[in-house]
Amino acid sequence: MSGGRKTDTRPTVAGRVMSILSSFSTEHPALGLAEISRSTGLPASTVFRLVRELCAWGAVERMADRRYRIGPRLVELAGLRGSPDRDLGSAVVPAAATTVLGENVR
C-alpha cells in the first residue's frame, strides 16, 4: 500500500452533463439516447436520467421522433454571450447546478 489517497477518475455529474451537451453539434443537431450514450461512453441509464433532468430545465428538448436537441434555455443563455453587461458564467453555473444537483448555488 502506498499510503497515498486514492484518486477517483470517474467524471463528476457536471462533467457527465457537459459531455452530453457536447454530443450535439452542427453535424449532429438531434440525437437519440443510444447515440448520446455511444458518443459519451456513459451508460444508457445515466444518459436517460441526466437527459430527463436537462429536459425539465430546458437545456435539451425531446422531439416528436424521440430524439433530443439543444433546448430553448441554452439558446437563451447563449444569447447572453454577446451582451457586455452580462456575465454568462454567473447565469449558467448556478442554474445548471440547481437542475443537475438539486442544490442552490450562489
* pLDDT tens series, the chain, 106 aa: 455 666 667 789 999 999 999 999 999 999 999 999 999 999 999 999 999 999 999 999 999 999 999 999 999 998 887 766 655 555 555 555 555 555 554 4
Q: What is the pLDDT of residue 93?
A: 56
Between helix 33-40 and helix 13-22 the angle, nearest 10°, is: 110
Q: How far apart are CA 27 and CA 8, in angstroms?
A: 33
Query: What is the topology classification, in CATH, of domain 13-101?
Result: Arc Repressor Mutant, subunit A (1.10.10)
pTM, rounded to two decimals:
0.69
The beta strands (E) that lie in 1-106 are given as 30-31, 60-62, 68-70
Q: What is the pLDDT of residue 27?
A: 96
